[in-house]
Amino acid sequence: MSRFWSPFVKDLVPYVPGEQPKLSKLTKLNTNENPYGPSPKVLEIIKDEANDALRLYPDPNSDVLKSAIADYHGVSVTQVFVGNGSDEVLAHIFHGLFQHGKPLLFPDITYSFYPVYCGLYQIPFEAIPLDDAFQIRIEEYRGINGGIIFPNPNAPTGCFLALSEIERLLTVNNETVVVIDEAYVDFGGESAVSLVNRFPNLLVTQTLSKSRSLAGLRVGFAVGHPDLIEALERIKNSFNSYPLDRLAQLGAAASFADQAYFEQTCSAVISEREAMVAKLSAMDFQVLPSAANFVFCRHRVRDAAELAAGLREDGVIVRHFKMPRIEQYLRVTVGKPEESEMLFSSLKRILAEA
Ligand SMILES: Cc1ncc(COP(=O)(O)O)c(C=O)c1O
């Protein structure tokens, strides 16, 4: 706090990202990164592009990347917006597409950046409770609103809502923008991009941070009606003309060209997730059905904070949210089989203690 801060900055409650520990020996299962590296073809392109051309500004419109995304999703380039991670894309959406006079609706248990953006952009919001099984109930999203947003699969629950439910929501809510945040969709969900040509108020966001193993490159995008995209471009061009650097634009585009690697690594994560669910259940954990690259689980008798602390003693880091309704849950990222081994041998040790 300083006397030079504006009252606005003083009142901000920033997002707290999951820990990025400096020690390399840890089993890091806390921030939903992909355990498999980026496609070797992506790395090759990035290395090639690290040359004298870096003295030049990148393409402000990211045309090559937008074309790759448009081709991949079967939409036109005017339906694609790209940003520095989907967090930046979401920030522009909150700023430019949600009506600021009415409450934005999102689940009570969801991505914790949403209320932070509401604070930053002064948007009122209403957190709609998930049901007792932690599922989104579309009927609850019918009130007056300035927009609706939720992740699908939801985070940190991992639960996936069928596209037919999203369609049902869009049919009744056609006056405000509905955003489906598909950060984890490639691990078993079904994308709502297939609905954007029918619903001009639908915007779908995705990231290359999870299924494409490029969290460090910072690339995310939105797909929707050209009018929605134009609003985002206006905000972006009033804020930062070059949010994606040269390496990010080409590396990200290259990842869409290596479909085989993408499918192979997503399948490896999905099969490891299923193995983890089986083992956790056998150790007396209740595990929510996950369509993501993480599982959300609680032990039937042991305290979640104590479990997280015990795991940390063994160098295994998982995410524990000290929040109402979920304080007894742990979110565990799906890693490689050898990382699961570290997780389970630590859990075995902890659970053996009285
Ligand atoms: C639901 C959800 N949306 C968006 C993001 C942001 O992803 P990124 O900014 O890395 O694209 C995350 C990151 O964890 C997330 O969990």
H or E segment at 256?
Answer: helix 246-257
How far does residue 86's CA lie from ligand 1's centre (Å)? 6
Decide if pLDDT at 45 tops 90: yes
Average per-residue pLDDT for the chain: 96
Decide if pLDDT at 24 tops 80: no
- pLDDT at 272 (0 to 100): 98
Residue 111 Cβ < 6 Å to ligand 1? yes
- pLDDT at 21 (0 to 100): 81
DSSP 310: H
pTM of the predicted structure, to 2 decimals: 0.96
Token pair 């070797």 is at which residue?
Answer: 40
Dihedral sign computed on CA atoms, order 188, 319, 315, 307: negative
What average pLDDT does range 93-121 have in this prediction? Answer: 97
How far does residue 325's CA lie from ligand 1's centre (Å)? 22
Dump pLDDT digits (tens) for 233-267.
Answer: 999 999 999 999 999 999 999 999 999 999 999 99
DSSP 196: T
How far does residue 328's CA lie from ligand 1's centre (Å)? 23
Decide if pLDDT at 230 tops 90: yes
Nearest CA, atom 3, ligand 1: 183
Quick one: pLDDT band at residue 17, thresholds 50, 70, 90?
confident
Dump pLDDT digits (tens) for 283-311.
Answer: 999 999 999 999 999 999 999 999 999 99
Cα of 258 vs its chain's centroid, Å: 21
In angstroms, rounded to a whole number, what is the distance separating the alpha carbons of residues 127 and 102?
13
In angstroms, rounded to a whole number, what is the distance separating the alpha carbons of residues 321 and 116?
16
- pLDDT at 154 (0 to 100): 98
Residue 207 Cβ < 6 Å to ligand 1? yes
- pLDDT at 195 (0 to 100): 98
User: Strand pairing partners for 299?
Assistant: 285
3-state secondary structure of 131: coil
